[in-house]
Amino acid sequence: MAKYKITFDKEICVGTFACNSVAEKFFLVGKDGKSELNNAKFNQDTKKFELVIDEYDLDISKEAESFCPVFAIKIEKLEK
């Protein structure tokens, strides 16, 4: 099964929570008024949050990516 990486740039998030409305499994409402990527790890090099998901969760994650008005969510397929 293919793996994918969600990359979330919290710095540019404007807190519309459109991602949360379609993928609340992954995107939570943060106390700071911005979304949070659930169970993600912060990448010190890129200053973004990252989470690896299975192909099973790809469709809902892609929907969240497409709903983000500031393009803070990126999804890419990981090579084996």
* 4, amino acid identity: Y
pTM of the complete model beyond 0.75: yes
pLDDT tens digit sequence for 64-77: 999 999 999 999 99
**Start-end of H helices in the chain:** 18-22, 58-67
Domain 3-77, classified CATH 1.10.10.10, yes or no: no
pLDDT in tens, 5-53: 999 999 999 999 999 999 999 999 999 999 999 999 999 999 999 999 9
Per-residue confidence at 1, pLDDT binned at 50, 70, 90?
confident
Higher model confidence: residue 1 or residue 24?
A: 24
Boundaries of every domain in the chain:
3-77
Question: Beta-strand (E) ranges in the chain?
Answer: 3-8, 27-29, 35-37, 41-43, 48-54, 73-77
